[in-house]
Amino acid sequence: MKNYRAELVGVFGDPVEGNPTGVTMEAAFADKGLDYRYLTLKVLPADLEDAMRSLYVLHMRGINLTMPHKIKVLPLLDELSEAARIIGAVNTVVLREDGKLFGENTDGKGFVQALHHRGVTLEGKNITLLGAGGAAKAIAVECALAGAASITVVNRTLERAQELADTLKKHTKTEAYSERWESRHQISGSTDILINATSIGMYPDDGQKPDIDPEGITPEMVVADVVFDPADTLFLKEAAMRGATPVNGLGMLARQAALNFKLWTGVEPSLEVMEETLRRETERKKI
């Protein structure tokens, strides 16, 4: 008998109208011949508990969570991954066969995989991380779990940088330090990997770049950016001109989505399909 019921996944958020994940996921589902649908759903904070119960009611496979739900969802889950527990935030939930809700955070994992794709290992590396927000925390935790020797968190508000450094020291073996982000901030010469984990340089403000002294970027460094629109940010272009190895945010975003895809379906998606779809979507918005 023909099955007319698609498997359902999606994202809960507010606002959520500008989230391109659904287009990327649908393209990857089609590429693998999977009868899945990705729903982009506006969920207000007051309705999150009801929305999470709908996973059971609608027999969904799982859900992504974006702002403002990544932290508030924690008490509604049955189990967390190690990274999600340390980060204190979840962006992906799986409704398992045993009826339990499992929470994962794939933001940092996607970043680490993007580095590995460029042949960059984290073990024993010294990292300078610009920013201390949600993306920065996810990336810092995953880099620490992957064996980074040290992570220096640079942030305008020193207290937030100190909080993240303290989290790393408490839960991982990585040395962690904090610095206040000064104008034309000086990057330590011992830095192996420099990461912009802020939204500076994101379209339509793509003429901006993090306020650091570019003289501190050396050919030996890997320079990464979480900004994916544009993929080739001004920050990365300048780093490449100085001989550093650039790693863009588009690869991170595609790999994060690919991890979610596999958690829900058990199937490895095509990264090429996901990256090309994301690139096409970001370009389409500007026409």
Q: Which residues does the annotation mark as catalytic?
A: 70
CA atoms of 165 and 88, how far apart (whole Å): 14
H/E run at residue 246 = strand 245-247
Helix (H, G, I), strand (E, B) or coil at 163: helix
36 C-beta neighbours (distance < 10 Å), count: 19
Exposure of 18 by Cβ count < 10 A (0-12 exposed, 13-18 middle, 19+ buried)? exposed
- Three-state secondary structure string covering 35-55: CEEEEEEECCHHHHHHHHHHH
DSSP state letter for 76: G
57 C-beta neighbours (distance < 10 Å), count: 8
CA atoms of 219 and 239, how far apart (whole Å): 8
Residue with tokens 């109208």: 17
Amino acid at the residue 178: S
Q: Which two tokens stand for residue 68?
A: 């403002």
Helix (H, G, I), strand (E, B) or coil at 82: helix
Instruction: Enumerate the β-bridge partners of residue 225.
Output: 196
CA atoms of 246 and 209, how far apart (whole Å): 14
79 C-beta neighbours (distance < 10 Å), count: 13
H/E run at residue 123 = none
Check if the beta carbon of residue 182 is closer than 8 Å to that of residue 156: no
